[in-house]
Structure 1
């Protein structure tokens, strides 16, 4: 009787944690979509393809986490050993992928700044002649002018 109660507790804990993972996957998906939407005007100012694809990676990872967590919830509720084992392997792979992306983002943080400054300096010369560059710089100037109060 105690073993059955303990397994029932594990079953519902696994379901609850998978529900939490599903919500986390949706949050990552939403953050990636918002980052893609907000960063789009500034992508013309950088020549790094890694940074323009980072929000897309977040969207894909969010979808994968949501799907895997959904299968984990189903495996927990149905008590299917194969689904739970597959779910565990997928979670391990997702954790390793997130760790790798996090480390790559942290390591390449300085490269983004250097690339951004280099691209800014190269493209400012095209401001009078190139309409796309002019529009991008106008957006940057409008957005940055709102932060005047942060400078002390």
Structure 2
């Protein structure tokens, strides 16, 4: 009897942590989404979809934690079985997502470089690209793809976009005063940090899921069908 009560309490605690983690995951997803949305023209499509994935997973965790809590509190075998199945499915989906993210990461540098070169070449004709460059260079305090020299083919003189000097759109910025850091370097670092966050989140979720499945199966075995 004591063992059953201990398993119930442990499962409830795990699901409460699962609930808090789902809430945190959703909040992080929303925050990343609003940051990524500013320069969606720059980053690869699968990276811009990353925060949406976090929000979806966070919502699924809410439902899963609810099933687990109901199963633990009411000792309902159906809830416990559903909880275990949902966790197992989530585990397999997350493994697939992590593998896909690892594959995409290998080609990240080429993808970013191609995107920046396209945006630079079409800068004068595309207002969205102009806004994206302004945000990128202001946010990351960088200039051009690799350096301020990249803008010479676009501007035709020593002037570069004001954002290279952290200035407003109507101000003037000269190449010698511009940031010495290329945007490709800092953007790649930012995207790699996103992948690192994704991996850490996946590992934490797996650990919580593994513990939850063990406790749910133990409680299910004690309760019976």
Using the size of structure 2 for normalisation, the TM-score is 0.60
Could you tell me which runs of 5 or more consecutive residues in structure 2 were left unpaired when the two chains were aligned: 143-178, 186-225
In the aligned structure 1, how far is the partner of 2:98 from the partner of 2:65?
A: 21
Confirm whether residue 111 of structure 1 aligns to residue 107 of structure 2: yes
- What stretches of structure 1 move > 4 A for 4+ residues in a row? none
Residue 191 of structure 2: aligned partner: none
In the aligned structure 2, how far is the partner of 1:31 from the partner of 1:100?
A: 21
Confirm whether residue 24 of structure 1 aligns to residue 21 of structure 2: yes
How far is 1:15 from its partner?
Answer: 0.5
As a proportion of its length, which structure holds more helix? 1
Residue deviations 1:10-36 (CA, integer Å, cap 9, x gap)? 111010001111111112111211111
- For residue 33 of structure 1, the aligned residue among 16, 30, 35 is 30
In the aligned structure 1, how far is the partner of 2:25 from the partner of 2:88?
A: 17
Residue 77 of structure 1: aligned partner: 73
Residue deviations 1:58-102 (CA, integer Å, cap 9, x gap)? 111110011111110111001101100110010111111112212
How far is 1:52 from its partner?
Answer: 2.1
Equivalences, count: 145
Listed as ranges, the matches of 1:45-84 within 5 Å are: 45-46=42-43, 48-84=44-80
Q: Look up the SS of the partner of 1:45 in the other structure.
A: coil
How far is 1:127 from its partner?
Answer: 1.4
- For residue 14 of structure 1, the aligned residue among 8, 11, 18 is 11
Larger Rg: 2
Confirm whether residue 94 of structure 1 aligns to residue 102 of structure 2: no
Task: Using the TM superposition, name which of 77-86 and 110-119 deviates more.
Answer: 110-119
How far is 1:123 from its partner?
Answer: 1.4
Using the size of structure 1 for normalisation, the TM-score is 0.87
RMSD: 1.9
Residue 197 of structure 2: aligned partner: none
In the aligned structure 2, how far is the partner of 1:43 from the partner of 1:114?
A: 17
